[in-house]
């Protein structure tokens, strides 16, 4: 569905590269997670898909067609994007933020309203109590959920998400992840999702691409990465959820809280 | 005070308010229409920003009066609403353009990117996201513009557009402090009210961005309705059909000119022509207005044309000047009807009894005795060519040269505080205090013979020209002095002075 054909991006005219010789294929209906340390080029990769950033060499194609051959506004309206900084419009209410893309696409007001209430219910912010709030009146996690709702509003086939669940508490986060997987499966969405959280990547994504300094170190299923890592960094990164779980488990048994796993 | 007087006062006040308000609002409205797109363009094309700001800053540094005069000249002498409106519009632009740019530049980067990322086109981003977010800053600029424009609109009086400046400038000319205060306070109050109105709107629109919900939509709707109504009214007044008049009579801003304009109107009315008066025009503007057919007739002075318009610095004597200015004004496309018969120039004047005691009748007689005398002059006199020449030609100087406000000067010579003053030859106070005007055989003082000028347009109305011709060469220094005295010293209305002139002179009008 989405193909990165040896894509490179330099912000300083070739001195250093944010993304270098990036080759990757994301299949239709697949969730791909991009994982890697801060500044390794995840956001840059994502933005090259909807042309917020243009590559210096190579090209991105969607369904076999270079994104450069698609009208940029149509391209963007048909790709949902959850921004890293949330990026809600501060002068629009929650309802207006979620309605933004369907309205641009010329949906009827009734259809927009219906979609709005559907999505806000989905992300746990009922229209009746949150629809007229302004972004300033939301918590960070609530704003993030509105951001996800906005990205999904126009029923896109492709979703790009830049740390979409970062600001949520563990319970809401797990809930929303589960909800997200359900939607994704039922709509057969193709998703590229940036995350720092390896556990999240393992639970949500079909495949994980591990990046370092603008390159892909390895891209495989969670099982594949665990069983045959090609790099020490991959090994170390993939082990973190497990080692931490063990540490937690030790703490739990030390405190003799026997019903912890109930 | 009579009811009639109060009604007239109220009428004048409302006229000034209406003029001031429509001028300000129309200028700012057009200012907004021009400035916001300019600011947007400058933001979009950073290369255009620098030149645009330079031009607008230059406009801003030109003094208001100079801009008005330039616009009048540029419009071929047209006076009234249009030039004032154009000048004010230019003036209102700077704060709006500047704040539009600042406001757009301050839109958070991630919000602009999000707008791009969800697929908004350039213009959708601008209209749906960037301008709404920049709105509070733009409105702050608008408030500055409104306050500046209300202030500058007072100058519109000088190009014949009514405003609260009418009170200020008439007050300054007639030294009526209350009138100056009234004009200033009224325009300041207008500025405050308009500013507060926008401030209220601004507060509401900020609350909206903060999401204070409630009655906001109703309030905004009402407010916007109100603003649009006022704007429409203001703009409608631009295109209001002008009153149907035959002749527009012009006058500068002081008593003698008011009386002369009254006389011209009264005589024309008597012959059945409808007239309108444009009073209080600036000295530079009025001649341009006549050339541009914005006014049709007024009394000018030969010295003003000679020194002011023709830029001469010498004084070849009254006859030469008369001939030269007559030729000059005709060459400027203006019709010279004739001289007025009187002269309003500077002269040295003394109390009659004192002059007789010293045997003084002419400036020549002051040579030698001036050094033991005190002289009083108005604010300008001792710096003018008139005094420099008096000093050189007659070898006259004084022991002390005191400077007075001209209203105090006459009292000072009458009480003997000073011996000689610089008087104006038709000033009513010469007669009131029985002063003697000293002869000036060697032409130290530039002559200011009154001359009746008419527009080219009106020469095609023989009936009007016949009336004007009868007004030429009929007035005398003594008549004018008496008429001025009635207004300046006795405080009688201009119409009484006009009636006095009509009765004394008998302009020999026969019905056609
Ligand atoms: N607009 C830009 N101009 C110049 N350099 C940039 C720009 N955007 C990103 N970079 C640089 O490119 C590199 C990759 O940035 P990118 O935003 O893709 O990182 P990231 O993987 O998303 O990091 P994080 O996890 O912190 O969000 C970084 O070194 C960053 O400093
Ligand atoms: Mg990032």
On the question of pLDDT at A3 being above 80, the answer is: yes
Domains of chain A (ranges, CATH numbers): 1-78+196-256 (3.40.50.300)
Q: Cβ contact (<8 Å) for A88 and B133?
A: no
On the question of pLDDT at B62 being above 90, the answer is: no
Residues of A in contact with B121 (CB under 8 A): 73
Q: What is the pLDDT of residue B202?
A: 75
Q: For residues B171 and A124, which has the higher predicted lDDT (pLDDT)?
A: A124
- Which residue of B107, B118, B124, B125 is the best one to mutate when testing the A interface, meaning the one whose CB has the most A CBs within 10 A? B118
User: What is the pLDDT averaged over residues B162-176?
Assistant: 78
Beta bridge partners of B299: B452
Q: What residues pack around ion ligand 2 (CB closer than 5 A)?
A: A 43, 84
- By C-alpha distance, the chain A residue nearest B111 is A87
A9 close to A19: Cβ distance less than 8 angstroms: yes
Cα dihedral A250/A256/A257/A259 (nearest 10): 100
A60 close to A67: Cβ distance less than 8 angstroms: yes
Among all ligands shown, which has an atom nearest to the Cα of A195?
A: 1
Name the most confidently modeled range: A70-74, A189-193, B1-5, B13-17.
A189-193
Helix/strand/coil (H, E, C) string of A181-225? HHHHHHHCCEEEEECCCHHHHHHHCCEEEEEECCEEEEEECHHHH
- Give B136 to chain A, closest Cα distance, Å: 12
Alpha carbon B24 to its chain centroid, in Å, reads 16
A168 near B CB under 8 A: no
Q: What is the pLDDT of residue B77?
A: 76
Question: How sure is the predictor about A179, in pLDDT bands with cuts at 50, 70 and 90?
Answer: confident
pLDDT tens, position by position, A93-117: 999 999 998 988 889 999 999 999 9
Q: What is the pLDDT of residue B511?
A: 42
User: What is the pLDDT averaged over residues A54-64?
Assistant: 91
Helix/strand/coil (H, E, C) string of A101-136? HHHHCCCCHHHHHHHHHHHHHHCCCCHHHHCCCCHH
In percent, the amount of chain A with pLDDT more than 70 equals 97
Q: How far is Cα B485 from Cα B476, in angstroms, rounded to an integer?
A: 14
User: What is the pLDDT averaged over residues B296-320?
Assistant: 90
Angle ∠(B152,B157,B160) on CA atoms, nearest 5: 130
Domains of chain B (ranges, CATH numbers): 3-237 (1.10.3720.10), 247-345+447-504 (3.40.190.10), 347-437 (3.40.190.120)
On the question of pLDDT at A256 being above 80, the answer is: no
Question: Measured from the CB, is residue A18 less than 6 Å from ligand 1?
Answer: yes
User: What is the pLDDT averaged over residues A211-240?
Assistant: 89
pLDDT tens, position by position, B179-235: 888 988 898 889 888 888 888 877 776 665 554 444 445 666 666 666 666 666 665
On the question of pLDDT at A258 being above 90, the answer is: no
Q: How far is Cα B284 from Cα B68, in angstroms, rounded to an integer?
A: 11
B241 near A CB under 8 A: no
B111 near A CB under 8 A: yes
- Which residue of A43, A91, A130 is the best one to mutate when testing the B interface, meaning the one whose CB has the most B CBs within 10 A? A91
User: What is the pLDDT averaged over residues B250-259?
Assistant: 89
A67 close to A59: Cβ distance less than 8 angstroms: yes
The CB density around residue B411, as the number of other CB atoms within 10 Å, is 14
User: What is the pLDDT averaged over residues B5-23?
Assistant: 82
On the question of pLDDT at B240 being above 80, the answer is: no
- By C-alpha distance, the chain A residue nearest B108 is A87
Q: What is the pLDDT of residue B215?
A: 44
A115 Cα to the center of ligand 1, angstroms: 34
Has this prediction a pTM greater than 0.80?
Answer: no
pLDDT tens, position by position, B103-114: 999 999 889 999
Q: What is the pLDDT of residue B217?
A: 55
Q: Cβ contact (<8 Å) for B114 and A83?
A: yes
Question: How sure is the predictor about B489, in pLDDT bands with cuts at 50, 70 and 90?
Answer: confident
User: What is the pLDDT averaged over residues A29-47?
Assistant: 92
User: What is the pLDDT averaged over residues A35-60?
Assistant: 92
Mean pLDDT of chain B: 85
Question: How sure is the predictor about B58, in pLDDT bands with cuts at 50, 70 and 90?
Answer: confident
Q: Which of A107-111, B74-78, B89-93, B207-211 has the lowest mean pLDDT?
A: B207-211
A100 near B CB under 8 A: yes
Ramachandran angles phi, psi of B234, nearest 5°? -60, -45
A42 Cα to the center of ligand 2, angstroms: 6
Q: Cβ contact (<8 Å) for A104 and B115?
A: no
Q: What is the pLDDT of residue B223?
A: 63
User: What is the pLDDT averaged over residues B342-347?
Assistant: 92
């Amino acid at each position: 569905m989405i193909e990165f054909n040896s894509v490179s991006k330099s912000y300083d005219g070739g001195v250093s590269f944010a993304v270098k010789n990036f080759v990757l294929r994301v299949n239709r209906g697949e969730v791909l997670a991009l994982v890697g340390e801060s500044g390794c080029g995840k956001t840059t990769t994502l933005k090259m898909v909807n042309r917020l950033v243009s590559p210096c060499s190579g090209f991105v194609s969607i369904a076999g067609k270079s994104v450069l051959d698609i009208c940029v506004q149509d391209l963007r309206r048909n790709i949902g994007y959850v921004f890293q900084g949330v990026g809600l419009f501060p002068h629009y209410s929650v309802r207006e933020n979620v309605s933004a893309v369907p309205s641009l696409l010329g949906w009827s007001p009734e259809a927009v309203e219906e979609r709005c209430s559907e999505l806000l219910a989905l992300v746990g912010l009922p229209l009746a109590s949150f629809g007229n709030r302004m972004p300033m009146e939301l918590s960070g996690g609530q704003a993030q959920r509105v951001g996800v709702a906005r990205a999904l509003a126009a029923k896109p086939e492709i979703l790009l998400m830049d740390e979409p669940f970062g600001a949520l508490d563990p319970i809401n986060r797990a809930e929303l992840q589960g909800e997200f997987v359900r939607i994704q499966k039922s709509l057969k969405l193709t998703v590229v999702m940036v995350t720092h959280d390896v556990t999240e990547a393992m639970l949500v994504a079909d495949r994980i691409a591990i990046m370092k300094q603008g390159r892909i170190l390895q891209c495989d299923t969670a099982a594949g990465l665990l069983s045959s890592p090609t790099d020490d960094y991959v090994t170390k990164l993939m082990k973190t959820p497990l080692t931490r779980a063990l540490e937690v488990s030790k703490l739990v048994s030390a405190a003799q809280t026997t019903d912890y796993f109930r | 005070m009579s009811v009639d007087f109060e009604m007239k006062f109220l009428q004048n006040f409302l006229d000034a308010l209406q003029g001031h308000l429509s001028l300000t609002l129309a200028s700012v409205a057009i200012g907004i229409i021009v400035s916001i797109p300019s600011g947007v363009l400058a933001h979009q094309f950073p290369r255009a920003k620098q030149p645009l700001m330079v031009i607008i800053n230059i406009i801003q540094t030109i003094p208001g009066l100079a801009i008005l005069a330039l616009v009048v000249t540029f419009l071929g002498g047209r006076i009234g609403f249009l030039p004032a409106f154009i000048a004010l519009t230019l003036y209102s632009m700077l704060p709006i353009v500047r704040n539009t740019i600042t406001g757009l530049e301050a839109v958070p980067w991630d919000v602009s990117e999000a707008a791009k990322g969800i697929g908004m086109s350039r213009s959708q981003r601008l209209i749906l996201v960037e301008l709404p977010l920049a709105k509070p800053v733009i409105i702050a600029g608008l408030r500055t513009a409104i306050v500046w424009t209300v202030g500058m609109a007072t100058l519109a009086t000088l190009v014949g557009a009514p405003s609260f400046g009418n009170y200020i400038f008439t007050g300054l000319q007639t030294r009526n402090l209350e009138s100056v205060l009234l004009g200033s306070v009224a325009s300041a109050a207008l500025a405050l009210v308009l500013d507060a109105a926008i401030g209220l709107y601004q507060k509401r629109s900020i609350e909206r961005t903060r999401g204070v919900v409630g009655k906001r939509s109703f309030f905004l709707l009402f407010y916007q309705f109100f603003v649009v109504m006022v704007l429409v009214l203001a703009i409608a007044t631009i295109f209001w059909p002008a009153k149907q008049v035959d002749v527009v009579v012009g006058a500068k801003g002081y008593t003698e000119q008011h009386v002369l304009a009254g006389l011209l109107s009264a005589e024309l009315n008597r012959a059945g022509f409808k007239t309108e008066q444009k009073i209080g025009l600036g000295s530079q503007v009025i001649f341009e207005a006549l050339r541009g057919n914005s006014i049709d007739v007024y009394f000018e002075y030969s010295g003003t044309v000679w020194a002011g318009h023709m830029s001469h610095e010498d004084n070849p004597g009254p006859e030469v000047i008369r001939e030269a200015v007559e030729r000059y004004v005709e060459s400027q496309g203006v019709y010279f009807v004739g001289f007025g018969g009187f002269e309003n120039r500077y002269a040295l004047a003394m109390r009659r009894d004192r002059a007789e005691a010293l045997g003084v009748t002419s400036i020549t007689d002051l040579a030698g005795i001036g050094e033991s005398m005190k002289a009083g002059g108005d604010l300008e006199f001792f710096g003018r060519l008139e005094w420099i020449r008096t000093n050189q030609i007659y070898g006259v100087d004084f022991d002390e040269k005191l400077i007075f406000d001209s209203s105090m000067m006459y009292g000072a010579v009458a009480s003997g505080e000073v011996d000689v003053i610089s008087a104006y030859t038709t000033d009513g106070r010469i007669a009131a205090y029985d002063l003697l005007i000293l002869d000036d055989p060697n032409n130290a003082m530039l002559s200011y013979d009154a001359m009746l000028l008419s527009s080219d347009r009106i020469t095609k109305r023989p009936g009007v020209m016949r009336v004007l011709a009868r007004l030429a060469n009929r007035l005398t220094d003594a008549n004018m002095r008496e008429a001025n005295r009635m207004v300046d010293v006795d405080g009688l209305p201009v119409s009484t002075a006009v009636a006095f002139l009509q009765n004394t002179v008998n302009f020999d009008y026969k019905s056609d």
